[in-house]
Amino acid sequence: MVKSSSLIVAAVLFLAAASVASASRPSVYIVTDYGARADPKTDSTSALSDAWRKACSDPRPSVVYVPHGRFHVRNLGFEGPCRSKDILVRIDGTLVAPSDYSVIGNAKNWILFHDVDGVRISGGILDGQGTGLWSCKLDGRKDCPTGAMNLHIANSKNVEIDGLTSINSQKFHIGVTGCQNVNLRDITVAASGTSPNTDGIHIEKSTFVSVLNSTISTGDDCISMGPGARNVWIERVACGPGHGISIGSLGWKLQEPGVQNVTVKRVHFTETTNGLRIKTWARRSLGFVRNVLFQHVVFDGVKNPILIDQNYCPGGRNCPRQASGIKVSDIRYKSIGGTSQSKVAVRFECSKSNPCAGITMHDVKLTYVGGGRGEEATATCANARGTSSGFVMPVVRYS
């Protein structure tokens, strides 16, 4: 090892003193003490699991420490509940998934935190090595596994994730499902703009979730919110490449929890396919989207800056072709500007049976950069009720 065990412990204790909530001296569990090795021939899965189990069973504040180096691991499950509600997982190195995508590709998750309370994950890199699976899918092969999520926080509460980098996930990078009070900040997500189904951060059936000060470049939605996402705050995020920030897709099922109380502020989109998007399938559903604020947003060469699509059907195959039952209401766009690659910069395609209601646009200025001289951006609107104030361009004619 580069450092002696005593030096590592001293460094981690110093770091933990400012990181764990308690003032008492934390217990420190260093994964190399349990057999982890930073070399490609060593499977460090058991070592990380053992260190977690020790920390989870300790009633005192605890630190699980991954030092510098590349540690190869298979599927990892960090299960709770734990005796302490003050556990720091500090990663100074890189966790590396198997290069053979079939090893973890049929699992939903590569790294899972389940049923935990009071956990902080700080620093480090998660390398999902997903390029092989992306190629399998892009080649149209039928035997490709679905793929594993790099990091999934499930059925947990009071979780913080900061300074984490997720690269080349097989599928979604970070997922938050069935959780309460999860805060993500200073997150970096990096994957190819052509990587399939690699949402940066996906939030579903969770409440009081924040994403702050983060940079996301990927092949699908930078941030997506599925059924049951409530009280979500997104601010100071850079998105691109990617498919933008999306609510949805919604309307998979008749009985589906709604999405509400979402704030998206100070976001910069660069050459994404979409910007601010709400997408629902055109079928019966009792779900809804309501009380959403998009504010202080800048678009730089975005293909579809503002979009509500209630006829969502990617690929155009086996589309339900009904009327979406998702009720979209109280959607506010304020202080938004930038450039659109498409002439139609604002598109509201709402449900015939459940028209969008309460759309407001205030101080929105979008410019078309793909046309000839003097050609302005336009808006299309179907089955949408709303009002505009301040300077709004393109003009939206609500119907």
- What are the structure tokens assigned to 271, written together? 């050459």
Q: Are 272 and 242 in contact (CB under 8 A)?
A: yes
Rounded to 10 degrees, the C-alpha dihedral 181/184/189/193 comes to 50
**Residue 254 to residue 363: CA distance in whole angstroms:** 36
Are the CB atoms for 97 and 157 separated by under 8 Å? no
Q: Which residues are catalytic?
A: 243
- Cβ burial of 374 (10 Å; 0-12, 13-18, 19+) is exposed
Q: Give the strand pairing for 62-66 and 27-30.
A: parallel
d(CA 233, CA 274): 19
3-state secondary structure of 6: helix
The answer to whether residues 157 and 137 touch, using CB atoms and an 8 Å cutoff, is no
Element (DSSP H or E) covering residue 290: strand 288-302
**DSSP string of 245-274?**
EEEEEE-SSSS---EEEEEEEEEEEES-SE
The residue with tokens 């960090």 is 78
Give one DSSP letter per residue of 60-108, joined into a string: S-EEEEE-SSEEE---EEEE---S-S-EEEEESSEEE--SSTTTTTTSS
- Record the tokens describing residue 143, joined without a space: 């035997």
H or E stretch covering 238: strand 230-239
